Structure formats: C-alpha cells, structure tokens
Amino acid sequence: MIVAAVVLPAVTAHGQGQDQFALGISAGVTIPAGVGADLHKTGYNATVMWGIGSVDSPFGIRFDGMYSSLGEKSNTGLTTPVGEAKVTSISANFLINTLGSNYHLYLIGGLGGFSYNPDGAGTKSKTDFGLNAGAGLFLPGVNTFIEARWFNFYRALPDVDTNVSGKRALQIFPITVGVMF
C-alpha cells in the first residue's frame, strides 16, 4: 500500500510531462498579395503537418508541407505573363497557445523553403527561402482548427519592369480549415 502511494504519483507526474504527437491535414483558399496579386488570382491550398507539443506546456513545434495553386491573371504588365503557378513549401514552425483551455487561440511562425513554379511561356521555377506567421483557433472537441497565415517567399516573382525572373517577393495568405489526428 505504501509502495503504491509513492510510485503512483511519480508515474502520473512523469506521464503528464510527455510529449504528444499529432498529424494533421488542412485545405483552403490562398490569396496573393502585393506584386503576387498583380500577377495571380486567388487559388487553393492543401497542407499536411506533423506536430510535437508537451501536454503541460503552452508551446509546440509543427512541420508543414503545403501545396498551393494560384490562378492566371491577364494584363499583368509583363512582356511574358507568368500564367498559373504552383507553390510548394516545407516549413518548421513554432506555436504558442495564447488564450483558452478548451478552445485554444494560438500564434504560429516559422521558416522554410519553397518552390514557385509558374507555367507561362519562358518562365522558370524558383526555389528559395521563406518566412511565415499567423494565428489559429483549435477546437479540441472535434480536433479541428481554423488558421490564417502570411507567407513571404523571397526572390520568387519576376520584376515587372525588366521581366527578370526571381527578383521580387511573393506574398500569400493561406486561410485553412483542418483536422488533427
């Protein structure tokens, strides 16, 4: 009896400090901004994610792989329009739960790499560095979340004046709904 009273609290305390792992998927709309909005229309996105977070900590880490498709826009001012574009990115992100115990409002930010692949004649794919930041709301009863983020992909877009590829940043705003497993 005395042994159980000493061992049980230690096991419970140890178990509460363990990391939890989560897999997730999400989909939504991708809205281009700045020069990206001049060259592309709103498109769609899909993301797969793997997260690590401590049960008793407000912090977590999440790795995301995102695919976005942006529509073609005419009258872009370029001598050769860039056409539709596919954007893929892989990022490592840091999450901070800011409010709530049942419904979690969280902030997310990270960095990673991306590939911007336009399909217009004479265009070239670009691969480079990018940053992201955003906010989300996690609903634990159904393990779903709603998230809005800002991505800045450096040196992705062509310069509008010179038509030289890879001279301007592409900024997009993916807004997603997802589920965690």
* Per-residue confidence (pLDDT) for residue 56, from 0 to 100: 64
- Is residue 23 included in any domain, yes or no? no
Does residue 1 lie within any of the structural domains?
Answer: no
Question: In the chain, which ranges are continuous DSSP H helix?
Answer: 2-16, 35-39
Angle at 127 between CA 86 and CA 165, to 5 degrees: 80
Say if 121 falls within a structural domain.
yes
pLDDT for 117 equals 92
More confident residue, 108 or 9: 108
Give the range of the structural domain holding residue 162, as residue numbers without chain letter.
Answer: 45-93+102-143+150-168
pLDDT digits (tens, 9 = 90+) for 128-176: 999 999 999 998 889 999 999 999 999 888 777 776 777 789 999 999 9
* Residue pair 63/51 in contact by the 8 Å Cβ criterion: yes
Please check whether residue 30 lies inside any domain of the structure. Answer: no
Indicate whether 136 belongs to any domain: yes
Average pLDDT (19-38) is 92
pLDDT digits (tens, 9 = 90+) for 73-118: 887 776 677 889 999 999 999 999 887 666 789 999 999 999 999 8
What is this structure's pTM? 0.84
pLDDT value of residue 8: 40
Number of domains in the chain: 1
Whether residue 35 is contained in a domain is answered as no
pLDDT of residue 171: 96
**Is 51 inside any structural domain?**
yes
The answer to the question of residue 70 being in a domain is yes
